[in-house]
Structure 1
Amino acid sequence: MTDVSRKGSLSFLNPFKTRSGSRSSSRASSVVDFKIGDDARKSSISTATIKETNSSGRTSRAGSAKNSLEYTRSSRQGSTLATTGEDGWDRDAQTGERKDHTDLLHSLVDESTAESLADKAQAMFIGIPAKPAADLFSRFPEGVWRRIVEFLGPADKASLAFSCKPFRTLLGTRSWTDLNSPQNRDAKFDFLGRLDEQLPNHLLCFQCGIYHVRTQKGQEVLRPTNVSNPIFNCPNVFNLENKVARHRITVGRALPFPFVQLILRGQKYSPEHGIPIDSMSRRYKDRDGEWTHQTRYVVVNGHLLMRVISSAFATPALPPAGLRRLLYSPSDNFNPYFSVCAHWRDGNLMPAVKCALSHIPKPPEGSGIAGTSAKVQYHFHRPHPIITLCSECRPMRRCPECPTEYLIEMRVQEDRSDPDPRKLFKHAVVVTRWSDLGDGSSPKSLEWAACNGEAEYDSFTALGKRAISGTFESQFTVDQIPGQKMVSMNPNKIKLGEKGHDWY
């Protein structure tokens, strides 16, 4: 009796004992939950479970299946967390965030399945033999074709007449001669641009409106502006009233539009149509100033993106005259030595550069006991060489009127020209510019014309939250994308031009 009473008094410690009259007991006493027990207790557990199920009548197969599903999910999650762990994730080098490659895989699937209408139309005619143009033309009466042609523009009419003899007979040669009229000049360039792939040895000249033979095929090299560098024989090459379209890079350096055509043709068609994009990268120093420049180009989604990094050593506490001498070129109509767009005078770009120069620590000056004491303290307690800019000059700036972005930095760089080894490293102001130069279809393309100040463009609406700098840098590495916030270079959109005083 004593043993039986003790067993009854300690029955609450038995985890396998069920309580009658409770729904939780029926769930806890399922066969799945008891699978974790010892092998020696399996027979007794299963017997007790069957008896209580028959007596209570509340346990159902659906409830057992639900409990088993919950147990299976929890067990899988626990095993996954145990095998993966926190250190098994691929993390970002700067932010430490986990890199989820699922989005990358989904994007690859979407890109492979997203076909353009032209690709689908081309796939429909695979395996179908070509038919003479007369068969296509004979499907409809001539009056129907004339009615259809009435809805076409000048460039489409010229292309249709250029396709085959029946359509040329229908339209006549007037569809080509009409392109020479001044009002159809844009349509003429549209028509000639469609022949670009069939003429790798020629280049379309937008001054003459014809294709010129390339005189330096595959060997075209970008030269300074003071060096004559014609890449095809054009009668208007030295015509000041009808000059070749070009974009200013820095002092004495410009990018002619024919080089934009060559880069994009080589990327779009074949290397025979243009030049390698790596041949355009340059590193040079100004002849008159103290600035050094690095240029690099990349093609993204058919658009040419340009990056120019300009740097110059600067001394602390420069007066206004010293700032003007450092930043502006007298020989280039007082434009900045670094690369800028056509809207650089409007806004706060130049005040931000001057603000960054004011953060260079100034060494102590003076004589006597006070000056000596200040110099001793400066020698033993030098300020940190890395300069942190303020909220006025640190953010990146985007021009609201063209696809151009700027980043201003203060870096410590090595000056090998200084003979004093104690002054080997100095502070330098670095201005980086990113620009989208368009698709190269015409000098009147929206991005190219906007960077030259010849077209209206709303960069914040067109670009959105995706920065040009991030798009450019992501083509090479994901660990060096500028992390500064983006603000407008001209938030109030006040256009003062030469009347503004802060830029100078």
Structure 2
Amino acid sequence: MAEIVPRKGSLSFFNPFKSRSSSVSSSKNAPPSDLSIDELKLDQKSAIFTTRLRKTASPANSARSSKPGSKKSSLDQSRSLRQASFPAINVAGEWERDAETGERKDHTEMLHSLAHRESEESLAEKAPVLFAGIPPQAATEFLARLPEAIWKRIVEILGPADKASLALSCKPFRDLLGTGVWTSLDAEENRDAKAAFLGHLDQQLPDHLLCFPCRIYHVRTQKGQETLRPTNISNPIFNCPNAFNAENKVSRHRITVGRSLPFPFVQLILRAHKYSKEHGIHIDSMSRRYKDRDGEWSHQTRYAIVNGHLLVRVISSAFATPNLPPAGLRRLLYSPGDNFHPYFSVCAHWRDGNLMPAVKCALSHIPKPPDGSGIAGAAAKVQYHMHRPSPLITLCSECRPMRRCPECPTEYLIELRMQEDKSDPVKLFKHAIVITRWSDLGDGSSPQSLEWVACNGEAEFDSLAALGKRAISGVFESQFTVDQIPGQKIVSMNPTKEKRGEAGHSWY
């Protein structure tokens, strides 16, 4: 087959592996796959020398090259020059190998790990950039821009907390508003406004912590050493006269049996994240791994901050025997010493819906070993030992999907895993029921924040409309790894939104 000559103006000279019609016979017969990378490298000095010869070519050579017979040779010479200036390709060092393990290092993964996960489109981050080039202006000059009547009209629209903040900003605004905007915050109807006003002073008071029951900043008694302890242990972290007052107690959120999260610890975590470590405690100091004294459950807690909100994950697990009767299920799942709440972590709406029936359905999938006596029982046991069922259990469509509470930002995942039981030397690995809970505890601005009161069952919250398709579990797990995000679909924990409480839903 005749070789096709590329037409004039073609870009075929960019291909260094293509054979040329004017090449030597050895390069004509050798296919591109037989040529090594080293054969394609050219000496840089020789390329420069050839280029210089071309620039300083004599007129006689130019005249000879203009003859019709030398047109093809000039084209080949220009192609060879372009090929000489093309850099040689070397793929030997494309992947860097580890000196110890010999594995190839993928720098793409390292670059992705350096990506900023949080959003930078917030107004608070853009405001310093917008006002960076504007010089500071005296308050009297700024106040003189508008007549006093207009300022008084603007002040009438503001709330008590905004008026107090404006009066604290400078002396001209204090003279305009008066000191009465501060004393009015002590009124009973302005308790929430006083807490909102005091919240703006958080950054200036690292040694104090705002007590919402008292609406006062108290001195921290364990600055930097605050530790979360069980609920039955007194653990005041600041000097408060109402620390042991049952009527004016600190807001708490139940984690598991005998464990709760006081709201001051939420403040400390988020203050340290917003301002500095002097303002609170590090988030990693809150992670725990413990086991219940009365039950068989073990728990793991971990926290993360995403977009200014505190997210919590609680993993609870317990070994379960197959074919439990109803009394055995109640003993395994419910704590009689905690008003028959589940041993694992739940929100305040756990009785409404199908959370507990789904947990019982998952326990029913544990394979039952053969029992019986006589020849039939012995044959069944031999058959069971010779053909053991798979330890990996696939749940059904009723208990496999994740559950989202429709009244608070909380999600649940029910699993059956094989775990090691070091206390049993006979049977080391057993099936365990594992229930994972993810919750959004709010931004820590106040114990009246919407997410916090919703998880405690003190306010109405439509999580399906507020969260949409965004999963709390996926957002939480993406802060640590992108390889183990739960892949189950999410369904409503209470599709009909019926609130029967202890009267229905067969939760017990």
Q: How far did residue 182 of structure 1 move?
A: 2.7
User: Which amino acid is 1:133 matched to?
Assistant: A
Residue number in structure 2 paired with 1:38: 21
1:164 aligns with 2:165: no
Residue number in structure 1 paired with 2:478: 474
Query: 1:333-359 CA deviation, whole Å, 9 max, x = no partner?
Result: 100000000111111111111111111
Percent of aligned pairs sharing the same letter: 73
CA separation of 1:468 and 1:501: change in aligned 2, threshold 3 A: closer
Query: 1:258-284 CA deviation, whole Å, 9 max, x = no partner?
Result: 100000000000001001111111111
Residues in 2 aligned to 1:283 and 1:437: alpha-carbon distance in whole angstroms: 20
User: Which amino acid is 2:202 matched to?
Assistant: D
**Which residue, 488, 494, 503 being the options, matches 1:490?**
494
User: Which amino acid is 2:10 matched to?
Assistant: V
CA separation of 1:46 and 1:341: change in aligned 2, threshold 3 A: farther
Q: How far did residue 213 of structure 1 move?
A: 1.0
Residue number in structure 1 paired with 2:210: 204
Q: How far did residue 119 of structure 1 move?
A: 4.5
CA separation of 1:33 and 1:141: change in aligned 2, threshold 3 A: closer
User: Which amino acid is 1:347 matched to?
Assistant: G
Query: 1:198-237 CA deviation, whole Å, 9 max, x = no partner?
Result: 1111111110111111111111111111001111122222
**Which residue, 260, 271, 293 being the options, matches 2:266?**
260
CA separation of 1:33 and 1:327: change in aligned 2, threshold 3 A: closer
Structure 2 unaligned residues grouped into runs of 5+: 29-67, 73-88, 97-106
Q: How much is the aligned-residue C-alpha RMSD, in angstroms?
A: 3.3
1:330 aligns with 2:308: no
Does the 8 Å contact 1:345/1:498 carry over to 2?
Answer: yes
What's the TM-score once normalised by structure 1's chain length?
A: 0.79
Residues in 2 aligned to 1:337 and 1:34: alpha-carbon distance in whole angstroms: 73
Q: How far did residue 123 of structure 1 move?
A: 3.7
CA separation of 1:332 and 1:214: change in aligned 2, threshold 3 A: same
User: Which amino acid is 1:32 matched to?
Assistant: S
Q: How far did residue 173 of structure 1 move?
A: 1.5
1:454 aligns with 2:437: no
CA separation of 1:122 and 1:15: change in aligned 2, threshold 3 A: closer
Residue number in structure 1 paired with 2:446: 442
Residues in 2 aligned to 1:400 and 1:294: alpha-carbon distance in whole angstroms: 25
Query: 1:163-182 CA deviation, whole Å, 9 max, x = no partner?
Result: 12221121112111222223
Aligned length: 436
Residue number in structure 1 paired with 2:314: 308
User: Which amino acid is 2:168 matched to?
Assistant: F
Does the 8 Å contact 2:209/2:217 carry over to 1?
Answer: yes
Query: 1:84-122 CA deviation, whole Å, 9 max, x = no partner?
Result: xxx99xxxxxxxxxx999x979x869966x4x5455543
Q: How far did residue 128 of structure 1 move?
A: 5.7
User: Which amino acid is 1:490 matched to?
Assistant: N
Q: How does 1:264-279 map to 2 (within 5 A)?
A: 264-279=270-285
SS of 2:213's equivalent?
A: coil
**Which residue, 428, 433, 436 being the options, matches 2:432?**
428
Answer with 28-37 or 394-403: which moved more.
Answer: 28-37
SS of 1:493's equivalent?
A: coil
CA separation of 1:139 and 1:387: change in aligned 2, threshold 3 A: same
SS of 1:410's equivalent?
A: strand
CA separation of 1:44 and 1:409: change in aligned 2, threshold 3 A: farther
CA separation of 1:477 and 1:31: change in aligned 2, threshold 3 A: closer
Residue number in structure 2 paired with 1:234: 240
Does the 8 Å contact 1:246/1:255 carry over to 2?
Answer: yes
CA separation of 1:477 and 1:124: change in aligned 2, threshold 3 A: closer
CA separation of 1:372 and 1:160: change in aligned 2, threshold 3 A: same
Residue number in structure 2 paired with 1:285: 291
**Which residue, 354, 359, 365 being the options, matches 2:371?**
365
User: Which amino acid is 1:492 matched to?
Assistant: T
Residues in 2 aligned to 1:109 and 1:425: alpha-carbon distance in whole angstroms: 39
Q: How far did residue 147 of structure 1 move?
A: 2.3
CA separation of 1:33 and 1:309: change in aligned 2, threshold 3 A: closer
